[in-house]
Amino acid sequence: MEFWESSFIEKQTMWGFEPTESAILTKDFFVENNVKDILVPGIGYGRNAKVFIENSINVTGIEISKTAIDLAKQNGLEDVSMYHGSVNEMPFDNKLYDGIFSHALLHLLNDQEREKFIKDCYNQLKLGGYLVFTTVSKKAPMYGKGNQLDKDYFEIMEGVKMFFYDSESIKQ
């Protein structure tokens, strides 16, 4: 079974329902810039989506875990359009969005997947739209843990491979 599906089956709403600080900051930025329609790859069970919806921003999600989608629908996101699948299979529609918010997903992709994902996101962004990624840094306590697969790339536990960023790797 895929890692995220088994995690959501076992741990359900493992991060609670409060949005992350990055989601709140991005919501403020999107509201200031009149962003009305966003794509959220890796929407999970929707804890970060609610802050956008509560501010009249239309959300479309992509999520690899069917269980996470079901949890989102059970917790107030029943009217949110969600595609079940991997971001590696993007695009799921031919719509262009005012903004894209992707929290803690980019670092889970390998080089080729990361390159394709960023390109796919840009291809679904309206001209003048905003793309916001959050990721994990080399300063995280889990940096260097587990099996090193490549420079700054580790399998920190069975099925979880992470690339750790610094300001230089973000520029690349």
pLDDT tens per residue, range 20-74:
888 999 999 999 999 999 999 999 888 899 999 999 999 999 988 888 888 888 8
Sequence-distant (≥ 6) Cβ neighbours of residue 128 within 8 angstroms: none
| The pLDDT of residue 8 is above 70 | no
Task: Read off the DSSP letter of residue 42.
Answer: T
Q: Which SS3 state, helix, strand or coil, does residue 75 take? A: coil
| The pLDDT of residue 132 is above 70 | yes
16: its two tokens: 């609670």
How far apart, in Å, are the Cα atoms of 64 and each of 4, 14, 83, 88?
A: 7, 16, 8, 10
pLDDT for position 58: 97
Helix or strand run (H / E) with residue 125: strand 125-134
14: its two tokens: 């493992």
pLDDT tens per residue, range 58-116:
999 998 888 888 888 888 888 999 999 989 899 999 999 999 999 888 877 888 988 99
Can you give the pTM of this predicted structure?
Answer: 0.78
Task: Read off the DSSP letter of residue 116.
Answer: H
- Model confidence at 11, pLDDT cuts 50, 70, 90, reads low
How far apart, in Å, are the Cα atoms of 92 and each of 1, 19, 40, 88, 172?
A: 23, 25, 12, 10, 26
- Domains of the chain from N-terminus onward: 3-9+19-135 (3.40.50.150), 139-172 (no CATH)
- Whether the CB-CB separation of 41 and 49 falls below 8 Å is answered with no
Q: Which SS3 state, helix, strand or coil, does residue 170 take? A: helix
| The pLDDT of residue 139 is above 90 | no
Strand partners, 153: 150, 163
17: its two tokens: 């329902």
